[in-house]
Amino acid sequence: MRVLVTGGFGRLGRSVLRGLAQRGHEVSCTDTAVPRDTEGFTALPADLADAGECYSVLAHFRPEAIVHLAAIPTPFDRTHTATFATNTRVVFNVCQAAFDLGVGTVLAASSPTVMGYTNPAGWSPVYLPLDEEHPVGPWDAYTLSKATAEQVVTGFASRGRGRFHAFRPCFVVAQEDWRGAPVQGGGTIADRLADPASAAISLFNYVDARDAAEFTGVLIERAHEIPNGETFFVGADDALADAPLSDLLPRHTRITPEAAAALDGTAPAFSNRKARELLGWRPHRTWRTELG
């Protein structure tokens, strides 16, 4: 299948490019800037927030499927206004151009943060572990932009042509991160394990970038076998912690011991059960097998 990856040279993008190619797909990429080393992938620089450029890129590559990763990736990279405007405009442009040009499948990256757990005013889960049925609680420009992206995907899915799905990759850990490279937000994976307070900000969620890439491949290949407009959490089978979350969450977050008690042993706060049951995907890597 011809697959276009937007934001293909980002933190998750490179793993998605490699993973899809390994599965036999013909992969191309677009990003705001194309590095010298494209690892052999055909790439075209473009600003997808510009509708004309977005249509031109899709017309150039004529993909059968799109993995849309392009976005301002964190809440602090740009102003709130720029973050919300860019992220929402880009996902709409990609979906609209894909719909108009007959692209069969679009997968759009959202974020677990749409749940609202980063809100400094406080947040409590209705239940744990968090799944796709749990209410969302976006509160800032970034989380609002990602929640809006999911609504855009749902809206296009309802039109009855093409397959549109969203996925929420947990904290992405690239291969170099396991070897001690600084991760998004600073520090290393070993630092996060040694200091639970730093990992508690994200409720100890994570996913190996290669596992997330495999997920996109499975979802592309099975997109027409499942109901349209689905959303999936994509996370590891365990938490990024060396103690049970039933102990750590009450100590480092506002989550009560009663709510945290649902997470025994190594259980994560985010469930990947839907992806396992609907797609047959499950992660193969954990920090216990990859770190050091």
Three-state SS sequence of the chain: CEEEEECCCCCCHHHHHHHHHHCCCEEEEEECCCCCCCCCCEEEECCCCCHHHHHHHHHHHCCCEEEECCCCCCCCCCCHHHHHHHHHHHHHHHHHHHHHHCCCEEEEECCHHHHCCCCCCCCCCCCCCECCCCCCCCCCHHHHHHHHHHHHHHHHHCCCCCEEEEEEECCEECHHHHCCCCCCCCCCHHHHHHCHHHHHCCCCCCEEHHHHHHHHHHHHHHCCCCCCCCEEEECCCCCCCCCCHHHHHHHHCCCCHHHHCCCCCCCCCECCHHHHHHHCCCCCCCHHHHCC
Number of structural domains in the chain: 1
Q: Does 256 reside within a domain?
A: no
Query: What CATH number corresponds to the domain at position 109?
Result: 3.40.50.720
Q: Is the residue at 96 inside a domain?
A: yes
Residue 81 falls inside a structural domain: yes
Give the structural domain span for 122. 2-172+208-236+270-284
pLDDT at 62: 98
Residues of the chain with pLDDT under 50: none
Answer whether residue 192 is part of any domain. no
Contact criterion met (CB below 8 Å) for 122 and 25: no
The reply to whether 252 falls in a domain is: no
**Residue 127 exposure: Cα atoms within 13 Å on the Cβ side:** 6
Decide if 189 is inside a domain.
Answer: no
- Per-residue pLDDT tens digits for 114-163: 999 999 999 999 999 999 999 999 999 999 999 999 999 999 999 999 99
Q: Which amino acid is at 121?
A: A
Residue 254 in domain = no
Residue 262 maps to a domain: no
What's residue 186's pLDDT? Answer: 85
